[in-house]
Structures are given as structure tokens and as C-alpha cells.
């Protein structure tokens, strides 16, 4: 005949505490090495992402694809609202991959990749100008190990069209944006 286990509140509490500690440590490890959470601090990805949206990125190594929304750092780029002077990550969409030739039509605002016009349903409005300040000479050929990025708010985006951002070295990519987690009303995958 088996002895029935008696309920031991101290043991039960200890087991629950162990599970909570394990869950917390697992969560911290995932956010540190697999995923990351960031706040968007620019309006250049409007309508896809809004300023102050919170997003989750994948930190796992991957090969960028055209259309991916990425977060990256750029040496010298400073967030004017950050008092710390830390590099502020930028969210942009990957437009060009190594070897691609990027250009646009000044009249229609159509983007061309390798001479082919692009259908871009995610942009806020057609592109009116190549860049406001320090424009990159056109057309641009994307170098090996780099990507060409642009914001979805083309007329209000500081991106690869300017020489001070230029082509983004793949080593500066923090990760691919996967999910918007705040505000809750906009929760969902980022495409």
C-alpha cells in the first residue's frame, strides 16, 4: 500500500518559486541572445511603424532579404533626444542587396532595382526626391557585405540615399523586426 503524500505548503511554495526563477532566467536569456525589444524613435517608417512603437527583433544570424524591416546602428548617428549620446538604432526596410543597382524616376517617384520598377504598397507616399541633404550619387550599386535601406516614409526618411548613412554594413544589423508589441491596439507581425 502506497503512502499518500501529505500537502506541504512550504515545499509547494518552494517549487513555485523555482519555476518562476527558471521562467525569469529563461526570459532574460532569450531577450539577451535570441530576441530584443526596442522602441522606435523616428517617423521614417510611418505607416508601417510609428514613433514610440515597441518592437521585438530576432538577434539570430540571418541573411537579409529585400523587404525585411531591420534595426541597425550606424557609427556617428546620434539620437538627438538621447542625453547619453549612445548610438540610436534605426529601423528601415531592406531595398537592395549586394550587386543590386538602385535608382528612381524623378518624375513618378518610382523606385528601380536592377532596372525593374518596384511595386511598394507599404510606402506612405511616392518618393519626391532622392535625398534632402548629402545625396548619394545615383544610381547606387550595393557593395558586397552591405544592404541599401530606406524608410517607408520616403519623403521624411534619412536613409541610404544620404552619404552620411549610405550603404549599411551587415555587421551593424542588430536584427530583423518581427513583432510590434506596443501599443497593444497595433500588436502583430511587422511586414
Q: What is the pTM of this model?
A: 0.80
Look up the CATH architecture of domain 10-189.
Ribbon (2.10)
Q: Give the CA-trace dihedral at 34, 38, 42, 46, to 10 degrees.
A: 70
Task: Write out pLDDT tens, residues 33-52.
Answer: 778 889 999 899 999 999 99
pLDDT value at residue 4 = 64
3 state DSSP class of 24: helix
pLDDT value at residue 1 = 54
Q: Which residues pair with 117 in a beta bridge?
A: 112
Task: Write out pLDDT tens, residues 61-93.
Answer: 889 999 999 999 875 444 444 443 446 789 999
Q: pLDDT over 70 for what percent of the chain?
A: 90
Instruction: At 115, list the grid cell.
Output: 532596372
Residue segments in the chain with a per-residue pLDDT below the cut of 70? 1-4, 31-32, 75-87
Amino acid at each position: 500500500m502506497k503512502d499518500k503524500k501529505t500537502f506541504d505548503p512550504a515545499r509547494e511554495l518552494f517549487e513555485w518559486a523555482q519555476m518562476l526563477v527558471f521562467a525569469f532566467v529563461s526570459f532574460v536569456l532569450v531577450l539577451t541572445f535570441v530576441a530584443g525589444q526596442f522602441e522606435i524613435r523616428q517617423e521614417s517608417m510611418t505607416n508601417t511603424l510609428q514613433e514610440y512603437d515597441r518592437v521585438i527583433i530576432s538577434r539570430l544570424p540571418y541573411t537579409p532579404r529585400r523587404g525585411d524591416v531591420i534595426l541597425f546602428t550606424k557609427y556617428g548617428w546620434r539620437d538627438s533626444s538621447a542625453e547619453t549620446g549612445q548610438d540610436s538604432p534605426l529601423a528601415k526596410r531592406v531595398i537592395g542587396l549586394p550587386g543590386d543597382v538602385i535608382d528612381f524616376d524623378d518624375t513618378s517617384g518610382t523606385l528601380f532595382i536592377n532596372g525593374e520598377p518596384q511595386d511598394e504598397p507599404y510606402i506612405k507616399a511616392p518618393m519626391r526626391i532622392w535625398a534632402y541633404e548629402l545625396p548619394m550619387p545615383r544610381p547606387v550599386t550595393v557593395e558586397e557585405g552591405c544592404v541599401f535601406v530606406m524608410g517607408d516614409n520616403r519623403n521624411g526618411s534619412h536613409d541610404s540615399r544620404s552619404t552620411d548613412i549610405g550603404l549599411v554594413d551587415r555587421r551593424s544589423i542588430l536584427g530583423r523586426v518581427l513583432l510590434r508589441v506596443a501599443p497593444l491596439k497595433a500588436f502583430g507581425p511587422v511586414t
